[in-house]
Amino acid sequence: MPNQQLELWDVWYPFAAATGVAFARGRCDPTNVMCLHAAPDAITVEIRSDDGQLLAQGKDLKRTASEGLPMTKLTRVGNQIVRQDQWPSERSIGETVLLPGGEVGILKAWWHASDHSEWRWQVEFYNHR
């Protein structure tokens, strides 16, 4: 696999404390789509190159649907980030997922009950040194 530069996705809740509170921060291969589980009602997102250059951002992105949707899809459009809260579908399989601890994985499976009372998902994690 060619050696490519990683990106840092930094997500925080902007309306707490003096400058916000970190929600999730992780490094990954460049991607235009990142999913978050249980994102707060508003988030600010920055994508930076490994050398710190700001590549894209979304400021104070508010929830796009009622509470109770388990996943937030962040899409990079040029240098902007767009938020969409959703129930994942088959089209979501293969998308990158950032967890609050900073782990970045790939969504491998998703299922939810028709009444949205339960769901099951699988994420694959990989690392190489």
38, part of any domain: yes
CA 57 to chain centre: 13
* Position 59 pLDDT exceeds 50: yes
87, part of any domain: yes
Q: What is the pTM of this model?
A: 0.91
Predicted confidence (pLDDT) per residue in 17-35, tens digit: 888 899 999 999 999 999 9
1, part of any domain: no
129, part of any domain: no
45, part of any domain: yes
DSSP states of 16-42 as a string? STTT-EEEEEEEES--SEEEEES--SE
pLDDT mean over 108-113: 94
d(CA 120, CA 69): 14
* Position 2 pLDDT exceeds 60: no
Predicted confidence (pLDDT) per residue in 64-99, tens digit: 987 778 999 999 999 999 999 999 999 999 999 999
2, part of any domain: no
Q: What is the residue range of 119's domain?
A: 7-124
Whether the CB-CB separation of 44 and 14 falls below 8 Å is answered with yes
State how many domains the chain has.
1
